[in-house]
Structures are given as structure tokens and as C-alpha cells.
Structure 1
Amino acid sequence: MATAIHTTGRRTLLAAITGIALLGGAWQAHAQAQDVKERTLRFAFSLAKDHPLGTGAQVFADAVAQKSGGKMKVTLFPNAVLGSDPQNLSAIRGGTLDFTSMATGLVASIDKQFGVFDLPFLFNSAQEAFAIVDGPVGTRMLDDLSKHGVIGLGIWDLGFRNMTNSKRPIAKAEDVAGLKIRVIASPVYIDLFSTLGANPVPMTFGEVYGALESRAIDGQDNPVGVIESAKFAEVQKYLSLTRHVYTGMPFMMSKKTWDGMSEAERKIIREAADEAKQAERKVSLAKEGQAIDGLRKTMQVNEVSPAELARLRQKVQPVVDKFAREAGEAVSKQVADELARLRAAK
């Protein structure tokens, strides 16, 4: 009899504990729902909506909506409709724009460390770049952006840059000489093309197509996915696969917007950003080969021989040395050491 009473009591206690746990869980879910407000957030970028970055942006917007139960909405503004990359960077720092993504070379305008990622011929593959930007060095650099009014939410993939122009194929370093080439408004790109004998012309991305069409410039450099989505093949004849610089795209949020959010909302943003980063990279890598095949139908595409690529590397080594110092000797050494470790482990 005593055993039966003891067993019944234990069941009652377990039921009570379970009930309390369920009530606690329900209360926690309710509290979290209360912590998520109705918000409409804006995400502006310079590339086309059908570019992999646009795909990643849509994945992010969808994930935020799903995780917030539809309370938080992200509206996308592709094709530089709200302004150029420098204007978007200024806007998120000022709190008048919530999200943007742009090349590391442009982010280096507010934090010179990011210039390390734009060193010519730094990475041999996208996987090397991902390992560095997702590792301790990249994570610390993204965290450091908070000093500049920006929350770093990961680095997306734009890919390896290649050269297009309307004059001639680029098969060796000397072929670059004399060409007017649009470059990102970043010192490393200006010095890179100057060293190769070109006439670099800094220009925002939204202006490039028109300048190529009017022959105000001869060419430009971008990953093949950008060349395809921006329809540069309509105004350029030659594509040379130089893969001279890898470009990552930091995904950034206004710290002012972030500071106004609850922990529950921040968790939604971070989780959605991680999902979008992985999705964007997957699409971007798959797109590269497809884009080259597609561009071969309308452009004259040439590979650059390993021997000539080695000559290109040698010619721009002074640029690498200079901007490694500019980015900071400590961060440059960290990246070099980590790359050496990754390559030794293969």
C-alpha cells in the first residue's frame, strides 16, 4: 500500500514538473514572440536581383520572415536604385538603411584591414577564401566593424575577377598596357592596373555599362557572374580569365538598427544571415562555370597560360607588398600564416 502511494505521489510530482516545464516553455515562446516587433527593413545592393547575391538576399528576406512569424519583413532594392555602394555604406552607418553588401575593397575605406582580402593572387580557390573569412581572422575583422557603426554578418562570395575589354584578348601582362579600365574606387585596384600599364578609371558599378557602351572606357574587371548578369557581353568583345583578385562581399547591417532590436530579433537576423551566406556561396560557385559557357557564345574568351599568370604575379608583387603593409602587418601575417597552414594540410 505504501509503495502504491509512493508511486502515485511520484507520478503526480512528475506530472506537476512536466506541467510547469510546458507552461515555462509556452511562457518563453510567448515572451519571445512579444520581443519580435513588426518591422520593415531595407536591403540595398548594386548588383542585379538575378545575380547570386540577389538570390542570397532573397533567401535572407524569406528566412527573416519565416523565423519572425511574418513580423519582420526585408524589402530588397537591387541595381543601385537607392544609391551607389559608397552611398549605401554611408547610409547604413547613419542608420537610414538597414542592410547592404559590397566588395571588401570598398569596406576597406572605413577599415583598412579589409584591404588584405584584395591582395592580387592571394587565394588559389574560393574554398581557401571561405576558410579565411569564416575563421578567426575574418570573424575578428567583422566584429571590428562595430567601431564604424556597422554590424558584420558574414562575407558572401562574388568570385575571382577577370578582365573584359573591347580592344584585344589579354594573354600576357603587356596586353593590359594602354587600356582604360574601370576599377573599384580602392587604392589597391588603382595601383594594380597602373603597375600593369593600364589607365585605371575609378567608377561606381552603376555607371559601368554606359561607359563601356559609349567607349569612354575600354574595359573593366569583375567575376564572370557579374559580367553575365550586368550584360557586359553586349558592349565588350573580349573576356580574359585572369582570376587576378578574389572578391568577397561583406554582408552588413546598420548598428543603429541592430542596437534597437531585442535579443530574439538579433538571433533571427544572425541565423537568417548564416543561412543566406551558405545559399549564396553555393549558387555563386555553381554559376561560375555556367556563366563562362554562356559568355563563350557572345564573347571571345581566352585562358591565360600558367607561365603568363606567373609573370603577372611577379609584375604586381610590389603592389602586394605595399598593400599588405597598408592593411596592417599583423593581419597580413595572420592571413599568410593561416593560408600556409591550410595548404600544408592538403
Structure 2
Amino acid sequence: MPVNARLAAALAVALIAAPLAGHAADDIQERTLKFGYSTFEAHPLGQGANKFVALVDEKSGGKIKMKVYPATQLGSETQTISATQGGVQDIVGTSTAPIVGLVKEYAIFDLPFLLANEKQADSLVDGPVGQALLAKLQDKNLVGLCFFENGFRNVTNSKHPINTAEDVSGLKIRVMQNPVYIDAFKMLGANAVPMPWPEVYTALESGAIDAQENPFGIIYVNKLNEVQKYVSVTKHAYSPWAVMMSKKLWDKLSPTEQKIFMDSCNEAKLYQRQVSRAEDAKIIAELKARGMQINEPTPAQLAELKAKMQPVIAKYSETLGADLVKQAQDSIAASQ
């Protein structure tokens, strides 16, 4: 073989092997996996999922492929969590609220007004509290890989702007199937209606419910402006998004493959959070252009809303345990 041909062949081999640097190629099997989640693919969570898929593909040298099933194609969050536990689905991305039924400590994220900004949120989910919560999933036949960001939750409704508890009183508001959210909005005088997400748009359109609460990205990609007039920037809770793998699958993976998934998720989460935060300002402008009215309660009004929710905060802090709540508060304080 001519020298130039030998060099070209060697270069081609090196390029193919490059993604496997640091990994033993023999420890990586050909796999095609199912990754299901509830948001649309265009949402920052969907973009993060695609980044995760691409990184796994790259780090495995193309051996591990993941097919994404966005927009509840494989079922609701509760259904896909169950399917992943059973090994029917390989990987699931879900908001943390439905996980509370499996691991009660996940309700720490649902405590009203626990977090004030993204820096505090990163400190909580990436620090000891978040990592301990991911570890707790193993007892439930799940392996927690990392946390993406869903974002701070805000209230939309078809009646009027919300600034005070009196504005919430009497509203029929859809909440996640999670006791903290149900109790919190009941405390404000609302009729809290737990409902699976796929049913929400139709319920808002028909007037069966008046309101719902979600981060801006969810409001936008689901076109809630078509059925809701008002967005109130309450930021009453921060919603992470857990990426979890079936433990049945995890236990079949080699250490090399396990590392690929962990490393890829932790890289993808940083990208996903950047996308999420960059898009919020654009989304707010677009929602306004689509005719939604957006209002921001004053700090004093938000403090009043938080004060109204103190009985709920106290109740679930006790359920969660003083140690966990203190750990969370310490993590948040350290991020200042």
C-alpha cells in the first residue's frame, strides 16, 4: 500500500476510534433504546434530550442509539415512570412532582417559594440534596442520571391578573397529581383540580377549568395563549426535570457504558439549562405578541402569598424531615 494510502487509512481509523477515547470499545454493546418524555421536542427540555442522545452516540462511537418519543407518545409522566420501572421503557424524562409518590423527599422541590433564582436552584439540584435524591431512585427500580431544568412555575388563567390570594380564590386551577400543589392552592382558596397533562388544553378550552401553572416554556410550546388570557409571574415553585433510566437496563450495562450515560447527562444538563434560560425572555415577548397579558406581583405581594402558604410549608417540611429541609436551606444559603 502506498505511503499516502496507509496514512489516510490510519487517519480514518483514528477518527472512528476518537469518540471511544478513554473507553474500552469491547465494553460497549450495540443498543437501541427508547427515551420518552412529555414535552414537545422544540421545548428546551426536548432540545436537552436531543443533546443527551447525541452525546451518548458520540461517546459510544455510534454503538448506543436512543430514539426519542416526545409529547407523551409513550404515555403520561406517571405512566412512563411506571413503564421505565418495569423495563418496558428504557429512559424517561419527567418533572419531579410525579416522583413524590415513589420517593416522598422529592416534595422538597414543591415547597412554595423555596427558591428565588436559578443560582439557588443549581446549588440545590447539583449539590448533596439533589445527588442524594437521585440515589434514592435505585430502590424504586430507577437510576437517576441528572436533573434538567423545567423552570420556575407561573400561573395562567382566563379571568384576571393574579397579584394576591384574593385573585386566586375561587379559580378552578389544574395542578399536578401531587399533594403539595393541591394543598398549596387550596390554601389560597382555589379549587385545585389534579389532572394529567394531556387533558389540560381541552379542559381549559371547554372552561372545565380556569387556570393552570407551569414554566414559561410549557405555556409557550403548548400554545396556552389560545385558551388563556393572563400570565402572572408568581415563580411560586421551581420545577426540575429528572432524567431516569430503568434499573433493569442499568444493571445490564458495563461500567464503561454506565459512565457514558452519566457523563453525557451531566454535560447535556448544562447545555439544556443555558437554552432554557436564554429562551425565557424571547418567550415572554412572543406571548405578549400573541395577546397574553403578563403581570408581575410586587415583592410585597409575593411575600403575602408565601405567608398564606406557611401552613402548607410547615406541614410538608415536617413530613420531609427537619434534616433534609435544613440541608436544602444550607445549600441555598451557600449559593448567595
Q: Secondary structure of 1:108's match? A: helix
Aligned with 1:54 (options 46, 53, 59): 46
Per-residue CA deviation, residues 179-223 of structure 1 (Å, 9 max, x unaligned), is: 100000000000011000000111111111111111111010000
Asked if 1:324 corresponds to 2:317, the answer is yes
Aligned with 1:160 (options 144, 152, 174): 152
What is the Cα deviation at residue 342 of structure 1? 3.0
Q: Structure 1: any 5+ residue segments left out of the alignment?
A: 1-24
Q: Say whether the 8 Å CA contact 2:119–2:335 is kept in structure 1.
A: no
Aligned with 1:176 (options 168, 178, 200): 168
Q: How far apart in 1 are the matches of 2:23 and 2:105?
A: 40
Q: Say whether the 8 Å CA contact 2:143–2:246 is kept in structure 1.
A: yes
Change (3 A) 1:30 1:176: closer
Please report the TM-score for the alignment, with normalisation by the length of structure 1.
0.89
What is the Cα deviation at residue 40 of structure 1? 0.6
Q: How far apart in 1 are the matches of 2:118 and 2:37?
A: 22
Q: How far apart in 2 are the matches of 1:78 and 1:153?
A: 19
Question: Structure 1: which 4+ aligned runs deviate by more than 3 Å?
Answer: 28-31
Change (3 A) 1:29 1:244: closer
What is the Cα deviation at residue 31 of structure 1? 8.3
Q: How far apart in 2 are the matches of 1:223 and 1:339?
A: 21
Alignment RMSD? 1.7
Counting only pairs closer than 5 Å after superposition, residues 1-346 of structure 1 correspond to structure 2 as: 32-297=24-289, 298-343=291-336
What is the Cα deviation at residue 30 of structure 1? 11
What is the Cα deviation at residue 99 of structure 1? 0.9
Change (3 A) 1:166 1:70: same
Number of matched pairs: 318
What is the Cα deviation at residue 60 of structure 1? 0.7
Q: Secondary structure of 2:335's match? A: helix
What is the Cα deviation at residue 341 of structure 1? 3.2
What is the Cα deviation at residue 336 of structure 1? 1.5
Q: How far apart in 2 are the matches of 1:333 and 1:264?
A: 36
Q: Say whether the 8 Å CA contact 2:127–2:331 is kept in structure 1.
A: no
Q: How far apart in 2 are the matches of 1:308 and 1:30?
A: 54
Per-residue CA deviation, residues 236-265 of structure 1 (Å, 9 max, x unaligned), is: 111111111111111111111100111111
Q: Say whether the 8 Å CA contact 2:145–2:243 is kept in structure 1.
A: yes
Q: Using the aligned pairs only, state the percent identity.
A: 47
What is the Cα deviation at residue 158 of structure 1? 0.7
Please report the TM-score for the alignment, with normalisation by the length of structure 2.
0.92
Q: Secondary structure of 2:33's match? A: strand
Change (3 A) 1:269 1:31: closer
Q: How far apart in 2 are the matches of 1:240 and 1:137?
A: 30
Q: Indicate the larger mover: 29-38 or 165-174.
A: 29-38
Amino acid at match of 2:227: V
Change (3 A) 1:229 1:31: closer
What is the Cα deviation at residue 29 of structure 1? 7.1
Q: How far apart in 2 are the matches of 1:315 and 1:80?
A: 35
Q: Secondary structure of 2:236's match? A: coil
Q: How far apart in 2 are the matches of 1:338 and 1:68?
A: 35
Q: Structure 2: any 5+ residue segments left out of the alignment?
A: 1-16
Q: How far apart in 1 are the matches of 2:335 and 2:302?
A: 22
